[in-house]
Amino acid sequence: MKINLLNFTLPKLEKFFEEIGEKKFRAKQVFRWLHVYGAENFSDMTDIAKTLRAKLEDIATIDVPHLVSEQISSDGTRKWALEVGNGNKIETVFIPEDGRGTLCISSQVGCALECQFCSTARQGFNRNLDAGEIVGQLWWANKRLGKDPKGEKLITNVVMMGMGEPLANYENVIDAMRIMLDDNAYNLSKRKLTLSTSGVVTRLDWLGDDCPVALAVSLHASNDEVRDRIIPLNKKYPLNELIAACKRYLAKSPKNYVTFEYVMLKDVNDHVEHAHELIKLARGLECKFNLIPFNPFPNSGFESSSWSQILRFQKILQNGGYITTVRKTRGDDIDAACGQLVGKVHDKTKRQEKWKNYIPVKEV
């Protein structure tokens, strides 16, 4: 089987080249062709000796996800369904804004976690994406979008917020992010590369040592009772452990704050007392809150909090001393908004059967 060179960080590619009897500097040349210039095949690499190109053709490949469909929202958001083998499909989203363009990247085919308000979770889980499939989404999107009139790439920020829990696919995600950060590849700043996690505490500590980037935490509850029900992972890593891990992470983070994502679910986590609990929970931790109106999907069992309740919740957090924003919903008309990505997952967990008799939790 041929080796996909998109899976290699530069140090790993250099090692691979030495193993096949080539000079290390050739690896850097090939690496730049792959990621800076977006080479689709080895014949494009015109400053590489023909003999080396022929060798690479025999043993290696440049294998990226394949486009299945593209949808463009009325607000300019783009969603791509990409095929990753055996009938599995993932989704990747590009969000254009004034002065920046953000690409939301998936890390797994489906998701092994069971967050109850997330459409991706309803699809179950098939497998982890490899590093080439993760970084290949950025490779592909750059090719698809082209450049602006000044010759600059349109993608300025990347968020690991698509399908899957990034820290559950740790090694592949780390390699992919290292490629994104490499100045011989995409040259992203650590401040412009964000990893979002539901709170895999032990691996959050690893991330701080191995590849600290901007951190967003899917919090979504102010106490363990509610979080246990809507994010089952909380039973393994309760809030006190998660908050402590966030404090440790800040010592190594490129930013001086953690962003807490909080989806607003009517009569579940949106009461006034929940806002006051969040203020106490986050005490002593530099953080910002990003309130997310729930994006509905079929048979979700949840409703979004009213706009007036979201603004009331925001005001309480702001009065408590925390910068609190309300996320502008983007791409909801093409199911590209937060929590709506589904792709196509050949589910190994049989989770879809479990949702047939689902009764949503409610606060009383």
Token representation of residue 21: 């009897």
- Per the prediction, the chain carries an average pLDDT of 90
Any idea what DSSP says for residue 251? Answer: T
Q: What is the pLDDT of residue 122?
A: 76
Q: Tell me the pLDDT tens digit for each residue of 343-360.
A: 444 545 555 555 454 444
Residue 91: active-site member: yes
Residues 6+ apart with CB under 8 A from 225: none
Query: Which one from 115, 211, 287, 338 is the annotated catalytic residue?
Result: 338
Mean pLDDT of 204-225: 97
List, in sequence order, every residue forming a beta bridge with 287; answer none if it has no partner. Answer: 258
Q: What is the pLDDT of residue 363?
A: 45
Mean pLDDT of 137-143: 94
Mean pLDDT of 197-203: 96
d(CA 274, CA 251): 28
Q: Tell me the pLDDT tens digit for each residue of 268-290.
A: 999 999 999 999 999 999 999 99
Residue 22: active-site member: no
Mean pLDDT of 173-179: 98
In 31-185, DSSP assigns E strands to 60-61, 66-72, 78-83, 89-97, 100-104, 108-110, 125-128, 157-160
Mean pLDDT of 46-73: 93
Mean pLDDT of 109-125: 82
Mean pLDDT of 168-178: 98
- Closest to 314 (Cα-Cα) out of 363, 306, 198: 306
Q: What is the pLDDT of residue 353?
A: 55
Please compute, for residue 1, the number of CA atoms within 13 A of its CA located in the half-sphere on the CB side.
Answer: 4
d(CA 49, CA 29): 11
**Residue 340: pLDDT band with limits 50, 70, 90:** very low
Mean pLDDT of 143-151: 84
What domains can be seen in the chain, in order of their start residue? 3-61 (1.10.150.530), 66-357 (3.20.20.70)
**Residue 53: pLDDT band with limits 50, 70, 90:** very high
Query: Which one from 91, 114, 165, 261 is the annotated catalytic residue?
Result: 91
CB contact at 8 A, 331 and 91 = no
pLDDT at 112 over 90: no
Percent of the residues in the chain that have a pLDDT greater than 70, as a whole number: 90
- SS3 call for 68: strand
pLDDT at 334 over 80: no
Mean pLDDT of 179-185: 98
pLDDT at 46 over 70: yes
Q: Tell me the pLDDT tens digit for each residue of 2-41.
A: 999 999 999 999 999 999 999 999 999 999 999 999 999 9
pLDDT at 300 over 80: no
